[in-house]
Amino acid sequence: MIPIIILITVVSSPTAILSPPELTIPISTGTPGPSATIVETLFYDDGTVYSAWCWYYEGNGWGYYFTTNVGRFIEGMGIYIYEGWPVPGGDRCIIRFTDWENEMPGKTYLEEEITVTPGEWNWYTLPTPLWDYDGKFCVFYIQVGNYPNCCGLAEDSAQENPAPDWWTDGSSYGRGFPRNDFLIRVIVST
């Protein structure tokens, strides 16, 4: 029998939830060394798909501020695209990773257009993990295509804390969301 250890991490942001993206049991033939890597998924949503939002015009988006209070590698992100709305919809979006500077999203680490599938989690793994020295950063979903030829970003049914919520018009940033928590997650490691 292989023992399973469940690690619960508490962070300064009271509504952030940390968990492994998937439970995997590592197989080891030796004693773990001091450089073990811990991979965590950070998110604010409750995991339920309630409805979706999109913008009238492409180039706009929503994102979150995350903090781990220590340097972390940003490994990738996941977004859930709503199925069935808008019609005809889309299968492309842009993901953006930024630093956190002067109490707002700062320098863009990486921005890339990706293909997505509605009705499921779409995970993007960075080709090379990004190092964020202080563990304070943002991730964004940016809409490709004007309404209704675009994706609908899924949201859950309740917004617990609007403090980490940000929107972008492509070149500037502002605080807040229309109402609930978007299904945007980020994968980090030590």
Taken in order of first residue, the domains within the chain and their CATH numbers are 39-157+165-189 (2.60.120.820)
Report strand pairing: 153-155 vs 51-53.
antiparallel
Query: Which tens digit of pLDDT belongs to each residue from 29-77?
Result: 444 444 466 789 999 999 999 999 999 999 999 999 999 989 999 999 9
Q: How many CA atoms lie within 13 A of 154 on its CB side?
A: 25
Closest CA to 145 of 105, 106, 94, 108: 94
Is residue 11 very low, low, confident or very high in pLDDT (cuts 50, 70, 90)? very low
> What's the angle, vertex CA 92, arms to CA 88 and CA 93, rounded to 5?
120
- How distant, in Å, are the alpha carbons of 73, 79, 151 from that of 180? 28, 15, 17
Query: Which tens digit of pLDDT belongs to each residue from 113-157?
Result: 999 999 999 999 999 999 999 999 999 999 999 999 999 999 999
